[in-house]
Chains A and B, each alone.
Chain A
Amino acid sequence: MSCIAGRLALRCLCRTKNDSTHLVRHMSFLSEFQKSLKEKHPFAPIQFGPTDNRPPDEADIVIIGGGLVGSSIAYFLKRKIVRGMRVVVIERDPAYTRASSVLSVGGIHQQFSLPENVQMSMYGAEFLRNIKEHLTVDDADPPDVQFNPQGYLFLATEKSARQMKANYDIQRENGAKVELLTATKVKEKFPWINTDGIELASYGTENEGWFDPWCLLAALKQKAKSLGVQYVHGNVTGFTLRKDKIPKGGPYDPYYDNRIRNVKISMPNSPEMIPLSAAVVINAAGPQAGHLSNLLKIGDGKNEMSVSLPVEPRKRYVYVCYCPSGPGLDCPLVVDPTGAYFRREGLGGNYIAGLSPTQKEEPSVDNLNVDYDWLKIDCLFSSQIKSAWAGFYDYNTVDQNAIIGVHPIISNFFFANGFSGHGIQQAPAIGRAMSELLLEQSYKTIDLSRFGFQRFIDQQLLYETNYSSNVKTEDVNV
């Protein structure tokens, strides 16, 4: 046996970083065999949760929000520690009628200017590629997210061409498969594009495209449930805080440790309010994250407590157009410098299009009604609008990038908010990062310490520089 192991070890000449459960290249099969003997198969059945909707009395980790980000965090936490840790996800709407995850266009691309964003999207694409290995539940069909690997095509005018070239270098450094095309090459490759005013274009050849986020959400939820996560249908209406005084003589002397003691959940269709005692609380509430952190009086105090979570909902419209003479199979998701975007949907001549508004024209967020006159399509082809829908971005009003990490004062409240339209691309990476932060005390694969809440206090904001001339930093968050 040992000589076979030796031969195996010699044959594997390459080695990369070890992600403990997802092995790409590995030195020795026998070491994994030994590890798995100890960890994976204690001979006892998993405890199933209660069948009625009552949350338990206490839980280790409570995730508020059961969308893509919340379910991804729950999955990544539970896949490392299946037994001995209780994870509860609180979702106010199990049918996901207003959830941003399922109302999104479903695109994934790596064309960002911050290296961490590129790495997170790369991991998102890798996760989708290997979704059958990650999220298959026994005795069920392996999940299929219907990924279209068509790529993104960002167009830039003269003004933004330099920025696009700088971003291209960062993207290539971090492993994104992106090409820069001049206007003539764009015309060669996509003869149906009108290249007036276009100086440069950036086209993603691999790991970019669009998929069905509902399939991903269903797969994550199913797998999380099979690993023992309990999904509770309820609304969080408040928290109970405790304030411990750390005794003298220690290194934090004198220091008050503020922690959340209970999460108050109001049950549906009943006046009942159940307190759930939690060790760690994660805010994955999407557009309602700001409202949730206001319940904790974040933004309502002195010094560091005076900085509130700058996340609010922003409504975006998505239109389905019909144009039988439009671009065929080679149509990527094209993003105009003005912020308009469109992509092919299916094989029947339908296209999905949208337009990001400027700061002044933000529509009201009271409801999900659609304004059909919003999109004046005079860009590439004449078409007719068949239908439309609206969804909310969890928009980070300060710098439109993710907010991840612990709150500086309330030491067991974690954020996973503010993705500003990139939530579905970054959900797997955020889940993995959060599980590393909670279970291994620091980020191991992608270092997201720059994205913490502290940056609002220290005013070290992270801006994503984009290619559009008219619209400011937010624009093309698709």
Chain B
Amino acid sequence: MAASMRVAVRGSSLRLLECCSGCKRITKNVPQRSMSVINYWTEQWLNWTTFNLRRKNVLVEKRVEYWGSELAAAHWLLAHQNSAVQFTNGHWYAKNKKGRYYLPRDAVKDEYIISIDAKRSRITYDGLENLFLLKHLKYLSLKGCPHIDDFCLARLHHFKDSLTHLNISECPQITERGLASLHSLKKLERLNMKNLPQVDSPELISVMLEDVLPNLKLQVVSQHVARHHDMMDAAASWRKRTEDSLKQNTSRDEKNAKN
């Protein structure tokens, strides 16, 4: 995302410069680096955003030592990724409107994280390391996360024993190759892959995933199957109607012939 943003910003500032054709400082064949103060500060801002992104996605071992694996992951998600977390007791924890969140002070035995709602968070490939110690994660929502790509989906194999519901809709960097690497999640029951801009044929991938994963039922496939059944039913009922009407016509003709 940062790189694509950099492209967008540089492009627009170069076009701005091209407009100032009266400026003598700017040479005709202006290369990538130009002598613009705007360009300098936007590049510094971009450096800061990439630095911050990496900082937010570091796995801090001291945090894990202090809080234990479950609470450490919860702290990371709530504080740095602005997500919501649900424990086995059913309670959801998230930042409130003031930007504060409250978590239990000590780790409770047998209380695990079972669902994570990381919609539009800035989790990256390195950040997923924070979640690998969670052994009872069932529902994971990475809807609209801009940094989740094929490599990250390959990393989800750590949750192969527990993950049942996965939502990766609207992630701009996911392609079919990443979806193919979900074959290791053997317990997956529901997968939401709507609105993936780089996937051209979600139906084909859905069918192949349903082949490989035994418990998976995808709405795309079931929609198609239902539509297929509807079409077959409609065809059968049409055939029946025409046969009935043909029979009626023939019986009427016979009656007329008799009379």
The chain A residues found within 8 Å of chain B, CB to CB, are 11-14, 23-26, 29, 32-33, 36, 40-41, 43-46, 48, 129, 132-133, 136-142, 146-150, 205-207, 209, 226, 328-330, 347
Contact = CB atoms under 8 A, between A and B. Distances in A.
Q: Which 9 A-B pairs have the closest CB atoms?
A: A149-B154, A330-B183, A132-B3, A138-B32, A148-B177, A329-B180, A136-B3, A138-B10, A43-B35
Interface string B172-186: 000111101101100
Interface residues of B, number: 53
- Among B2, B3, B208, residue most surrounded by chain A Cβ atoms (within 10 Å): B3
A386 B184 CA distance: 30
Contact of B54 (A23, A148, A330): A23
B88 to A, nearest CB: 27
Contacts of A32: 47, 51
B62 interface: yes
Given A12-B58, A205-B157, A33 B44 contact: yes
16 contacts: A14-B61, A23-B51, A23-B54, A29-B51, A45-B27, A46-B31, A142-B3, A142-B7, A149-B154, A149-B177, A206-B154, A206-B155, A206-B157, A328-B212, A329-B212, A347-B205
Contacts of A14: 58-61
Interface in B135-160: 150-151, 153-155, 157
A140 B7 contact: yes
A139 B7 contact: yes
Given A41-B40, A147-B150, A149-B181, A137 B50 contact: no
A187 to B, nearest CB: 14
> DSSP class of B's interface residues: helix, strand, loop or mixed?
helix
Interface in B1-55: 2-4, 6-7, 10-11, 14, 27, 29-35, 40, 43-44, 47-48, 50-51, 54-55
- Among A24, A137, A140, A330, residue most surrounded by chain B Cβ atoms (within 10 Å): A330
A224 to B, nearest CB: 13
B31 A139 contact: no
Given A46-B33, A133-B3, 19 more contacts: A25-B58, A33-B44, A33-B47, A41-B33, A41-B40, A43-B35, A45-B30, A45-B33, A45-B34, A133-B50, A136-B7, A139-B7, A139-B14, A142-B7, A146-B175, A147-B177, A149-B178, A205-B184, A329-B211
> DSSP class of A's interface residues: helix, strand, loop or mixed?
loop
B4 A329 contact: no
Contacts of B35: 43-45
A175 B32 CA distance: 38
A448 to B, nearest CB: 26
A247 B53 CA distance: 56
B10 A146 contact: no
Nearest to B179: A329
Contacts of B54: 23-26
A117 to B, nearest CB: 21
A138 B43 CA distance: 12
B46 to A, nearest CB: 11
Nearest to B181: A149
A139 B11 contact: yes
A13 B72 CA distance: 15
B209 interface: yes
B225 interface: no
Nearest to B32: A138
B226 interface: no
Contacts of B48: 29
A107 B54 CA distance: 28
Interface in B72-100: none
B126 interface: yes
Nearest to B198: A144
Contacts of B4: 132, 136, 142
Contact of B31 (A25, A45, A141): A45
Contacts of A226: 32
A38 B236 CA distance: 78
Contact of B32 (A11, A13, A137, A149): A137
Contacts of B7: 136, 138-142
Contacts of B67: none
A208 to B, nearest CB: 9
B210 to A, nearest CB: 10
A138 B7 CA distance: 5
A139 B10 CA distance: 7
B112 interface: no
Nearest to B9: A138
Contacts of A136: 3-4, 6-7
A446 B44 CA distance: 30
A24 B57 CA distance: 10
Contacts of B10: 138-139
A186 to B, nearest CB: 14
